[in-house]
Structure formats: C-alpha cells, structure tokens
Structure 1
Amino acid sequence: MKEVVWGIIGCGDVTELKSGPAFHKVENSSLLAVMRRDATKAKDYAVRHKVPLWYSNADDLLCNDDINAIYIATPPSSHLEYALKAIKNNKNVYLEKPMALNAIEAQQIREALETSSSKLTVAHYRRQLPMFLKLKQLIDNNEIGEVRCADIQLLQPLRTDIVTTTEDNWRTNKSISGGGYFHDLAPHQLDLLYYLFGDYEKAHGYTSNQSKSYEADDVISGIIQHENDIQSRGLWAFNVNDTSKKDGLNIYGSTGEIRLPIFGNQIEISKNGITEVLKFNHPEHIQQPMIEATVNYFLGKQDNPCAAGEGLKIMELIDLLSNSNR
C-alpha cells in the first residue's frame, strides 16, 4: 500500500472541521467517499468538501475496492457493527472514541482483528497534540519528581460550549452513547491518564442522576489505582451553576505540580515556589496529527498510536467508573 484511500461512515459535526478535512491534507492520504443515512446531507457534505463519492448506505461504501481505510465517525451504538464489517472487508479502521458502547463490544472488535490483516487505531487524538506530547515528556523526565497522584475535575452547567446540546442530542441517550456526557467527554481524560501513567489495577466509581434532565447520570466520581501505585481521582458533573465551571487535570509529584485544562491550551508547572506557563496553539483540524500518525501506521512507517487493546482498557475504565453493568 502506497496511499491510504479513505471512506468516512458518519459525516456529522465532528468531521466538519476537527477531522474530515485532514484526510485530504495528510501526506499519502486521500478522501474518496463519505456516507450518511440522510442522502441529502451526505451529498451536501461531499459537495462542500470536494469529496468525489457519497453514499447513503454503509455497505455500498464498504464494497468499494478503491477504499482501503474507513473512518467510523458515527455515535458509539454503531461502532461495533461498522468496525466488524470493515474488518470483514479487509479495510483498515480509524475508530472514533469511545471505542464502543461498552467493554464487551470493544473486546469483540479486538478479537475480530486477531484473525484479520486489518489494522485499527482508536481516535484518542490528544495523544498526538503538541501540548500533550509535551506533558508526557515532562512526566517521563521527572520534571515534578515522582508522580504521586492526579486529580480530574470537569464541572459544567447543563448547556455550555463543552457540553453539546442539540435537538437530537444522542449524547444523553444511553442506548446510543452508552451513557451521558461522561461517555462523550471522559474518554479524553481517561485515555490521557492511561497514556501518562500506564495500566490500571482497579477502579471504582459512584454515579447519580441528580437533575433528571435526561435519562443518563449527570454526576460521576471515581478512583483509579494504577499498576505503578499512582492514584487518580475524578469528578465529572454536568449540572452545576455557570460560575462553578471547571476543566482541570492536576498532577502532583514529589517535587512539584502540573496543572492544565484538558479542553484548553496551556500547561502550568509549579515547583520551588516558581510557576512556568507553557502555551500552545492547537492545529486547525485538531485530529490531523493523530490522522497523520494513523496513516503512517497503516503504511508500515510507525507503531500504532492507539491500539485496540488500549481502547479496550479505556472502555473498561468507563464501565467501572460509571457502573455500566449495574
């Protein structure tokens, strides 16, 4: 394979700016076709983004032999179906996060890969952003000494720029998203904890639907014990007042502290009474660095930037913290 030729299944909002245009811009990558069940919207997307082909049926796209890679950008409820079909058709897969509705489905995807030549990368794209590559470098270089613990806080009102609210808000429909806003937003943070500190040994969470604004829980808290003895704590609340909004990851070490917003663009490093602030400019298409790494992986030029086994680990954490099997 000399070029990765893409088809997108699910050309919704996330593909408009965050990901879709990057498939044209990455070297040795092109976007040949898009699919959306609404034919009018599929055609409109293709015309606006200068994509040669469009479909309203995923099977038609998957049967196109000119396409060798599929970006699955649908809500989580259809990730399993489309991933298994893509793998059966020997297509490589770039799969949106969270990997599936739950860890059971994620495991099915991983098992399908074991008897296939297909490759799959999970779109935990923050791993490839300069800000978070720098964060990992700081941790790996013991910039704040040995890491002791980490604290996540994401507190948001019912309607904010982080919490997406539309007329057809699938994110709060448990049968489509797996849960609520926790399932949509926490994968970013939980994957970073895994990326920075390694695998978990055990985890436990508590959940509640306090506001009763939708069927999913709107408050989730939990503790993660990592295998290297680091502990992480998280609090996610999507029902607070406007002035209580928070988006933060604090990492505490033996000689200092690192603070950053997961959905922001700066890192603060404090030690010996001095605080240094590092600011970053995210790329226009925020998934482009991850897509570039994925293309290079598919072409055999680098290791997988986020393998199915890692995506499965994040799904396990989501299930444990949200008590999804209760």
Structure 2
Amino acid sequence: MKHLLSLSGLLASFAALPAFAQESLRIDGLEIIGKPVDGEMGFQPGVTRLATDIHDLDYLILVIITLITVFVTGLILWVAVRYNKKRNPTPASFTHNTPIEIAWTILPIVILVLIGAYSLPILFRQQEIPVADITIKAVGNQWYWSYEYVDEEFGFDSYMIGAPATLSAEDEQAGAVANVLNPAMEAKLAAAGYGRDEWLLATDTSVVVPIGKTIVMQVTGSDVIHAWAMPAFGVKQDAVPGRLAELWFSADKEGVYFGQCSELCGQAHAYMPITVKVVSEAAYAEWLGKAKAEYAGIAQPVTVASN
C-alpha cells in the first residue's frame, strides 16, 4: 500500500507538471502578432524572409493573373459586341493567323519563365536547411505536440488550453468543460495571459526561440500524419510517422505567434494549435535556464520511430 501511494503521488506530480511549468516559465509582455483575425483578408504579418518571399510571389502571380483575366474578359466582350450577327451578318472564314499564333505561343512561355525564375530561388531557400543555432524536434500526436530542444536535452508536451489534459479538478469544479468556451474557460485563458480571442489558438506551453536566430525544426509524427504550420513564418511541414523532415525559420520580430496542425488527423484535429514566442536573447537565456530545471531528466512518454 505504501508503494502504491508513492506511485500515485508520483503520477499526480507528472500530471500537474504542465500547470507548474506554465506558471514558472511564463513570458509576459509580448505582443500577439501572428493570429487569424475575423473579417480580415490577406496574410498574417510576415516576420521571416521565407514569409515575405511567399507574400511577394503571391502578389506577383496575383498581378499577372489579374491582367490576363482582364485582357481575356475584355477580348470576349469586344468580340461579342463587334462581331455579333447584327453588325457582322456575313462572318469571315479563316483558319490561320501566323502573328497571333506566334504571340499566343511565346507570351505564355515568357509568363511561365518569369514566374519560374522568381519562384525557384524561393523554393530552394525554403528547402536548403542552413546550419542551426537551435534545433527543436516537434512530434505530432493525437491531439497535441511534443517538443524536444535537442541540444539542451529536454522536452515537453504542448496542449491547447481547454484540452482535457489541461483541466485540473479545480478547473472542473469551477465549471470548465473540455474544448468548450465558457466563463470558467475564459478565466483559465486569462490566467495564462490570453483572452477569449485566443481561444482554440493558445497552448499551455509554448515553443520559445530568440529573435534573429536560425531555428531548425525536425518534424515527425507518432501515430498519424500531422502538419506543423506557422503562417507568420511562412512554413508548413507534414509530420509523417517514421520520417524526420526539417524546416527552418529566423524570426525578426518579438511577439507571440499561433499556428495549427494543418493535416486532418482525427476527431480533435481542430484542437491542436501551436504557440511560438519570439523573445530577446536575454529573455531566451533566462527561459532556457528555467526550462532546463523544470524539464531536464523527465522521460518523454512517447517514443517514435525517428528517435
């Protein structure tokens, strides 16, 4: 019985770990920059070179497509009016027009070459992984993320605030219901430094990285295919069980950024957000010291094939 009670206490302490870690490792005072906003159009603010590249490419292609659409629509309208039956009772009949045929062959080639010349360097920049200042392993699970700071030898799990794993007995007594936004859940969000607008976005623990450093994320899955996506960074990588893929980013603005699992992964796919906090080097060093003390030596509960 004594050993059983000791084991129960140990398991309870591990279950409560995310709550303690959230309090001791919390970083306040950061602006929330990367998140979806109701009623707005366009991209989230790009804070990496990769994101601004994607935005520029999208704008270029949008301009090209708009010009083509306007030209073709105008041409159709002009032909419909100029050569209708009333104005052109005896239609002309011809089969070839060499200048036009040359033009509609060469012009699309030029447009495609222009798009390719602009987009290929962007693609290579995304896929050529630079030397990392910090390497972080992200493992997708149903339905949360596990992170490991590879060089520092510690890791932690990250759940959406409001997921069943984040609710304590006190939360339930206060009226909190898993995956339901109610006053008790709003209070839980507020206690973590978030508001109701961050519901379905905020997590109990966050990936913390320093500004301006090259971060390499090693991405895999433990069960089904997930995807680690952060719109403000311009990155998305499938997390495939048994495979270790990589992405990289270097954020140039401090703040809080939200992402989501972007691959349909089961019942609670919608409740699998990602939170990244970009901080100063001094704040990162302080957080890292606390994180090592909090997490170092704690065995990760899931072992994946890519370990």
Q: TM-score range by the shorter chain?
A: under 0.3
Length-normalised TM-score, structure 2? 0.25
Tell which structure's C-alpha radius of gyration is larger: 2
Which structure has the highest helix share of the two?
2
Greater strand content: 1
